[in-house]
Amino acid sequence: QYILCKIMHYSKHYYCTSSKIKNNGVLTGVYPASPSSWLIVVIAIMSTMYARIDPSMGMIDRIKTSLPVSEFMTVQTQTVLSAILFATGLWLSFIFLLRYILKALLSYHGWIFESHGKMSFSTKVWLVLVKLLSGRRPLLYSFQASLPHLPVPSIDDTINRYLESVRPLLDDEQYKQMEIVANDFKKDPAPKLQKHLKLKSWWATNYVSDWWEEYIYLRGRDPIMVNSNFYTMDLLYVIPTHRQASRAANIVHAMLQYRRKLERGELTPLRALGIVPMCSFQYERMFNTTRIPGIETDFVQHLKDRKHLVVYHRGRFFKVWLYYGGRHLWPSELELQFQGILDDKSESQPGEIKLPSLTAGNRVPWARARLKYFNEGVNRASLEAIETAAFFMTLDDEAHGYDPENIRSLDLYAKSLLHGKCYDRWFDKSFTLIVYKNGKTGINTEHSWADSPIIGHMWEYVLATDCFHLGYTAEGHCKGDINKSLAPPTRLQWDISKACQEIIEGSYMIAKGIADDVDFHDCLFNEFGKGLIKKCRTSPDAFIQLALQLAHYRDKGEFCLTYESSMTRMFREGRTETVRSCTCESTAFVKAMEDESTTNEQRLALFKKAADKHQNMYRLAMTGAGIDRHLFCLYIVSKVMGIDSPFLKQVLSEPWRLSTSQTPQQQLNLIDTQKFPKYVGAGGGFGPVADDGYGVSYIIVGENLITFHISSKFSSTETDSFRFGQNIRQAMLDIRALFNPKEKKM
């Protein structure tokens, strides 16, 4: 009887979970209508028939005559069934019509170009219509079918914007030569390439995203550690508990809660202005996903609900089950599991310690080793456990975090999250959760499946749930009872030959060389933040980008091609576009700042002009009128067609010596940072893109803090991340002084 009750309990839980997913799938499938609206339409049609009115104009009779006649199908049954079929068709047509209208409305982007606080009448009408058609309670994927496709810009617009973007970087002779090459391309083969690209845009969901994932990420044969993966930090000032197992348990449990909401589609879709929906496609592969190495190209393996986690600690791998009795393990139960791993004194097996460095080195040796040494026996079973896990976790034996008394503490923390020891993160997993021995945590994310706002969305939910919903006891343990009957974690077994160990060591040495060359500096700028910048009636992003241009000029004495990442998620399956932040307007402003004969009023006028230019370019990028993704796709088409283009070759070979990105914050607004000012995230960062350049990620944390994550290479004599951080700090202060002339330059 006990066993029967247990079986019924598990079956009930599984049925409820599956039913919830299916129900939400139906709700998403018929959005912006609802299943109940189908019943309303059926009743309405049936009512008109009983009133001897035929709203179908004879269609119901035609459906009726096509139905088979039998002893079970009476005339009345035929009539009712015909009416139901007609009503269903009418209802589906209504859904498609609503989606088409909503898609047309969402293709309007005039609102984004309007001045802040000034809204035209047409935009107000548009907002009302979008609200009416958006439904009441949309689920995560409700708007996917209504999102417009990314438009293909015209060749003329792209070429003109490109030439404008390189003008401040070329002298007159170089610019004339570039104009000739660009105009030759515009005549031929651009029209031919554009024609094929437009054909793709008609049948593809997004004409960029599949090629971007394949050619920018998956076909790259260089190491993805540092070069591709990025990191996200924990809360800046707060560590909720210093017990490593407890913190890991709460974080993992919160992630499982988030995954369940994700699978059910229960998360609310992000919407600009609270109205315009963003594409949610990238969320689908957050969990249960691994990048699998290949000889010529990798591929992304995504599985359905996985019920285990793989943990790495002191050179050993452990498999931990995340479910018990058809439910997630409670935090207290997870803490027991993780503490068991920390207390385990067993030694690692030959070759096991540095095994993860295969994912940190070059892709081809890893792909070949995987085929040769991990294709059978215990090696295959253990590797499969890792690659099919919900995600990967490292219980790190180091302590990291922000120490106000140690100016380089965040630098070491960033480097640890970005590359660790080169053998203690599984860089191929969609993300690796790192939990340090002092309770600090963070994430290393593989980049091919999604961009940083996606993982940031999950991380915000997890940190808020950890601190404000799950919590800890006074002793720092997880709350709840402990079920001591749980099976302990299972050690993964390996049989790694000497030849394989040599390959592992080779990958480790390559990865270590890359990691040792990373010069990282995290700069906490707390002189002012978003609050003061907005008082200056300037976009915070434009303010910071101009400060970066000024800082870079002071740092290296020259301007460079600058990359700023912008999102294109207002379009279906949109990812990113490039904003070329170094413009004629920004260089004029920087030169004026360095010219002592220029007055403050002149500098301020040039600043506002440059800021307006930057903001307009950002808006163009967001609305599908960027430069670089279009040129990238034209290049791919040229390669497929066997057409050689000197112009496209030159464009795609130009180095980005300043690569920048803003980390979004408060996507979910789960933490009131006014009430809890210490509970703010520190953002995240990425490695340097060019050998002689800088990578800068920044996050505007509340009203009075901006965090800059700066990367470069020690091997370059032209760069110094700490020096650049000081230049950024001074540039920010000098621009602020333009709005307050009484301030003296420090």
Residues whose CB falls within 8 Å of the CB of residue 463, separated by 6 or more in sequence, listed in order: 234, 235, 254, 671, 679, 681
How far apart, in whole angstroms, are the C-alpha atoms of residue 3 and residue 5?
5
Phi, psi of 523 (to 5 degrees): -110, 115
CA 553 to chain centre: 30
CB 576 within 8 A of CB 565: yes
- The answer to whether 546 and 443 are in contact (CB under 8 A) is no
Using the 8-state DSSP alphabet, how is residue 663 labeled? P
What would the DSSP string read from start to end of 6-32? Answer: HHHHHHHHHHHHHHHHHHHHHHHHHTT
The values of phi and psi at residue 389, to 5°, are -70, 155
439: left (phi over 0), alpha (psi -120 to 50) or beta: left
How far apart are the C-alpha atoms of 128 and 122, rounded to whole Å? Answer: 10
CA 497 to chain centre: 38
Q: Any residues with CB less than 8 A from the CB of 675 and at least 6 apart, and which?
A: none
Three-class DSSP category at 353: coil
How far is C-alpha 432 from the chain's CA centre? 15
Closest CA to 447 of 618, 665, 684: 684
Which residue from 700, 686, 454, 451 is spatially nearest to 577, judged by alpha carbons? 451
d(CA 711, CA 469): 35
Supply the residues annotated as catalytic. Answer: 447
Instruction: Please say whether the beta carbons of 594 and 735 come within 8 A.
Output: no
Distance of CA 563 to the CA centre of its chain: 17
How wide is the angle at C-alpha 677 spanned by C-alphas 409 and 704, nearest 5°?
A: 75
Task: Give the span between the Cα atoms of 117 and 107, in whole angstroms.
Answer: 22
Contact between 623 and 112 (Cβ < 8 Å): yes
Q: Half-sphere exposure of 688 toward its Cβ, with a 13 Å CA cutoff?
A: 25
Measure the CA–CA gap between 151 and 464, rounded to whole angstroms: 37
* Count of helix runs (H) and strand runs (E) in the chain: 23, 20
Contact 648, 686 (CB under 8 A): no
Amino acid code (one letter) for 596: E
Handedness of CA 28, 29, 35, 37 (dihedral sign): positive
The number of beta carbons lying within 10 Å of the beta carbon of residue 136 is: 6
Task: Calculate ∠ Cα 689-228-277, nearest 5°.
Answer: 105
Q: Are strands 271-272 and 276-277 parallel, antiparallel or unpaired?
A: antiparallel
Nearest to 112 by CA among 280, 278, 276: 276
